[in-house]
Amino acid sequence: MLDKTDNRNKVMVALLPTTTEWANTELPHLTLVFAGDTEHLPPTVHNELIKAALTIAIESAPITIKVVGSAVFGQEEKVDVFLMDKPPELMAMRAVVEPWDTGEFPVYKPHVTIGEIGSMSFFMPEFLTFDHIVVTWGEDRQTYPLGWDNFA
């Protein structure tokens, strides 16, 4: 898969899809929050984001969300994305991690990163299901399944 974006220092919390045949990136994801770069954040933020992700994982079931379109996001590093609907369950997940938002959008725009610009295939799914949440801290990834049953 192609993915020329340098994410070595990036910090985010995102949902991971159950299928990825439509993606052309190492880590297709629906961003819940982009928190910035590791060099600008104290290590305590990593622990706080993991706690928030675990809260979401325990309190949330896997979620299926409607794909409502496609677009190109980014200023310097452009990427193809699927634009996603905003069901209440997704917005509740977002609210848990929103305090760490340092993203470029003043209003949350749920989207799934597909890959670098021009990597979008002709296939756009009608819905995507997400069953895991991930916290990335540079190259470190902590992934948790969604749903209390996975923790009981």
pTM greater than the 0.85 cutoff: yes
| Residue 25 located in a structural domain | yes
β-pair partners for 134: 14, 143
Q: Give how far the C-alpha of residue 2 lies from the chain's centroid of Cα atoms, to the nearest Å.
A: 18
Range of the domain at 142: 10-150
Does residue 98 register a pLDDT over 80? Answer: yes
β-pair partners for 33: 13
| Residue 2 located in a structural domain | no
Residue 4's pLDDT is what? 40
Nearest-angstrom CA–CA distance, 111 and 102: 16
Least confident span in 32-36, 56-60, 96-100: 32-36
Q: How many helices (H) and strands (E) does the chain have?
A: 2, 7
CATH code of the domain covering residue 22: 3.90.1140.10
Residue 133's pLDDT is what? 97
